Structure 1
Amino acid sequence: MAEKSLLVAIVAGILQGIFEWLPISSEGNITLFLRAMGSQPDAALRFSLFLHAGTAVAAAVYYRGELKGVLESLPDWRPSSAFQTRQAELSFLTVATLASGAVGLLAYKTLDAVVSELAGGGFVALIGVLLIGTGILLRTADRFELGNRETPTLVDALLVGAMQGLAILPGVSRSGTTAGTLLFRGYSGSDAFRLSFLLSIPAAAGAGVLVVLETGGLPVVAPTAAVAALASSAIIGYLTIDMLLRVVERVSFWAVCVGIGVLAILGGIFLLEFQV
């Protein structure tokens, strides 16, 4: 059993390292994988959230140059010029992270209560519905890519932060919703994904810390499995981020979300019928 738990954890970490950069729900798909491997809904949800800490490390290392530039603007930050050119990205990341924390904590508490009431099949079907919703958002955003805005505003930060907070729900893509919102606001595709991935660093790290605080430790029986999963998500995440950013420009991920969502709903209905 220990070997199986370790293998499942490593595979989950690898999937997180790949899925996090795609505009599909890494959390939703990893939760489905863990459910298929026999995990309970609440345990699968917490572990999929915990794995975000690994990709937070990967993104921080990959975007270290961008982060250095943002931090160098910190001494010049003033409330009166918070969203002017030099301080705009720092202000955007700060405000959006605070908004994400507030909305995400509320969404997580609500989800925790819902998961405890749902049967296994109901939980899988719920993820399917949210995946389809993500696909519809991505499809709609594709038609509104205006590409004429460059400097983040307070409204951008609040909207994107709130959407990222909602992405704590399994099936809702963090990168898909945040990049989609930025596309709606008129950013180019490259700027939308760059800001989205920078914003993922504090959010993903926070998700991992939240799970550790709630569980009082690492969210699996074997700490070795948790550490291995975290390491694999960080390593694979760093190795794949550049390649997968290029893939995003060529693949219609909205269709992937809808397809996986439909399968999840059908699978959830099957499980419910089986349970009855």
Structure 2
Amino acid sequence: MSWFESLILGLVQGLTEFLPVSSSAHLRLTAAFSGWEDPGAAFTAITQVGTEVAVLIYFRKDIGRIVLAWCRSLYKKEWRRDHDAQMGWLVIVGSIPIGVLGVTLKDQIEGPFRDLRITATMLIVVGIIIGIADRMAARDETGGRHRAQKQRKGLQDLNAKDGLIFGLCQACALIPGVSRSGATITGGLFMGYNREAAARYSFLLAIPAVLASGLYELKDAMEGGHVTWGPTIFATVVAFATGYAVIAWFMKYISTKSFMPFVWYRIALGIVIILLVMAGVLSPHAAESAG
């Protein structure tokens, strides 16, 4: 991997990690359209650590409160009813599905799931689902002429059942084209949460999963020696800087704007990929690395 490739892939990772468009799909597609080798699951996981560091810094006050309250709840019963302490447990509960499935389906994630036909299908299907959830949320938030506005849930309403459902939605993002943020936010909207609450929990929920995945891949990469370290570290730094800016923009955007631009983009991109594969212009396995 060249330094130029790592710059572009780092930018793509940072720009797409927190938007409901699937960063893993865009990394895969960037390599395919550019004629580069697939950066691979290890590169993706390690660069995602950079974007998660951006989450840690952006939500540092929230995370600090949650970690402190959770630790206190371990030995002080009165803290177990504290909202921040409960949030700590809910993040743990929500992280279970992706942890179990990530280990169980590791070979599929690094192999068959990277087929561009699967990626394109997921872009379209999940895009439509996001669109339905967004319209439903917009209808509830604005209300109708002859009915009262429906109050959607906030993070204070989160419970273990909903946290587990959020986690199952996040696990779907193991398939390129789904989108971690897109799946979890959409799940939250269907469960009646407002956009900001769903997005905030989505970002917090991603921290354990992404950091664990990155460290796991880091261990494998150090043992196997199949990662070009200089460009990979550079891409991770680029992803961090870009990702931080995107988080700040996205949290403001979702408070007033619709997800429909992302929905139309996903559908259009998926259709283009399918047409290119059907026409033989693009191989479904284009840019796959030999390792």
TM-score by length of 2: 0.81
What is the aligned counterpart of 1:104 among 102, 120, 133? 102
What is the aligned counterpart of 2:250 among 226, 237, 244? 244
Unmatched segments (≥5 aa) in structure 1: none
The residue that corresponds to 1:260 in the other structure is 269
Please tell me whether residue 12 in structure 1 is matched to residue 9 in structure 2. Answer: yes
What is the aligned counterpart of 1:148 among 118, 132, 153? 153
The C-alpha deviation readout for 1:123-182, integer Å capped at 9, x for no partner, is: 222210111122022012113335135321111121111221220211111001001111
SS of 1:59's equivalent in the other structure is: helix
TM-score by length of 1: 0.85
| Cα RMSD, aligned residues only | 2.7
SS of 1:214's equivalent in the other structure is: helix
* Aligned-pair CA distance for 1:263: 1.3
Please tell me whether residue 38 in structure 1 is matched to residue 31 in structure 2. Answer: no
The C-alpha deviation readout for 1:99-140, integer Å capped at 9, x for no partner, is: 22112333433233425xx8xxxx222210111122022012
- State how far apart, in whole Å, the 2-side matches of 1:216 and 1:155 are: 38
Note the 1:188-203 alignment, pairs <5 A.
Answer: 188-203=194-209
1:76 and 1:87 in contact (8 A); partners too: yes
Note the 1:198-237 alignment, pairs <5 A.
Answer: 198-216=204-222, 221-237=227-243
* Overall identity of the aligned pairs, in %: 24
Please tell me whether residue 131 in structure 1 is matched to residue 137 in structure 2. Answer: no
The aligned length equals: 265
SS of 2:157's equivalent in the other structure is: coil
* Aligned-pair CA distance for 1:40: 4.0
- State how far apart, in whole Å, the 2-side matches of 1:10 and 1:273 are: 24
- State how far apart, in whole Å, the 2-side matches of 1:61 and 1:273 are: 39
Q: Which moved more, 1:171-180 or 1:257-266?
A: 257-266
The C-alpha deviation readout for 1:55-98, integer Å capped at 9, x for no partner, is: 01110011000101101211124899967634321111011112
The residue that corresponds to 2:288 in the other structure is none
Unmatched segments (≥5 aa) in structure 2: 141-151, 285-291
Letter in 2 for 1:72: L
Letter in 1 for 2:117: A
Q: Cα–Cα, structure 1 residues 219 and 204, in superposed 2: closer, same or farther, change >3 Å? A: farther
The residue that corresponds to 2:55 in the other structure is 59
The residue that corresponds to 1:70 in the other structure is 66
- State how far apart, in whole Å, the 2-side matches of 1:206 and 1:65 are: 22
* Aligned-pair CA distance for 1:33: 0.5
